[in-house]
Amino acid sequence: MAILIEHPFVQHKLAIIRNAETGHKRFRELAKEITQFICYEALKTIRTKEVVVETPVAPATCRKIDTDLVVVPILRAGVGMLDGILDLAPTARVGFVGLYRDEETKQPVTYYERFPPQIEGGTCIVIDPMLATGGSTVAALELLKEKGAGTIVVICIVTCPEGIALVEGAHPDVPIYAAAIDEKLNDEKYIVPGLGDAGDRLFGTSHP
């Protein structure tokens, strides 16, 4: 299931991050800000528990998060969204997964994985600015489920029908939260209109 976040602030920032004239510094800032807004929505149903705290006046019944949070960026572009979530959940653990596409089989191949033990039974948040073909996301979700992940959500900035369909077909239990669901993939497998190469734009390895 794909959930589109249509909050005006998200859509305003999306207009700026899409702009080809937006440089890498501002692109990174916007990726962080948009991620925070999406994360608010994606995590609104996570498990909490009731606690009693002492205010300066009297005891208060409150609620605290009652699950281990594990953020999993898909390398390399997912790293550009990481601080946005860690600002909201500074005690969250972080795992990493690196994938590349085999030129002959066109299938994703894992070249790096590192997960904290809290992944087992915890709430895992997979982050990648662009969910394009969906191949890397599906592979990452398979790895997480093999490790015993409990609840999993995917957060991206932009996706498209092709990527959504692949993820939903392989992992129908995993919701996808995005700021935009764009028109399609082009022949080079870029999302149209998309953001361009999010990794290059995040890390200044292309112009602008």
- For the four alpha carbons of 85, 88, 94 and 95, in that order, the dihedral sign comes to negative
21-47 average pLDDT score: 94
Report the percentage of the chain scoring pLDDT > 90. 83
Tens-place pLDDT, residues 121-162: 899 999 999 999 999 999 999 999 999 998 999 999 999 999
For the domain made up of 2-203, the CATH class stated in words is: alpha beta
Categorize the per-residue pLDDT at 102 as very low, low, confident or very high, splitting at 50, 70 and 90: confident
List of E strands, 87-146: 93-94, 96-101, 108-114, 123-127, 130-131
Q: Which residues contact 18 (CB under 8 A, 6 or more apart)?
A: 193, 194, 195
3-state class (DSSP) for residue 18: helix
The alpha carbon torsion through 174, 68, 9, 33 (nearest 10 deg) reads: -110
- In the predicted structure, residue 179 carries a pLDDT above the cut 80: yes
Give me the mean pLDDT over the 59-72 stretch. Answer: 95
Strand partners, 120: 149
* C-alpha separations of 80 from 3, 18, 50, 159 in Å: 21, 15, 34, 16
**Cα–Cα distance measured from residue 55 to residue 47, given in angstroms and rounded to the nearest whole number:** 24
Q: Does 205 score more than 90 pLDDT?
A: no
What is the per-residue pLDDT for 101?
Answer: 75
pLDDT of residue 98: 93
Cα end-to-end distance, the chain, whole Å: 34
Nearest to 71 by CA among 117, 126, 114: 126
Please check the confidence at residue 208 and state whether its pLDDT lies above 50. no
Span 103-129, pLDDT tens digits: 677 678 889 999 999 999 899 999 999
Residue owning tokens 């009297």: 58
Task: Report whether pLDDT(93) > 70.
Answer: yes
pLDDT of residue 55: 97
H helices of 111-191, in order, are 135-146, 161-170
Task: Please give the backbone phi and psi of residue 184, each rounded to the nearest 5 degrees, phi first.
Answer: -175, 180
Q: Which amino acid is at 125?
A: I
The residue among 128 and 101 whose pLDDT is bigger is 128
Q: What does the mean pLDDT of the chain come to?
A: 93
Phi-psi region of 61 (alpha: psi -120 to 50; beta: other; left: phi over 0): beta
* Residue 138: predicted pLDDT: 95
Q: Is the pLDDT score of 54 beyond 60?
A: yes
Question: So what's the pLDDT on residue 106?
Answer: 64
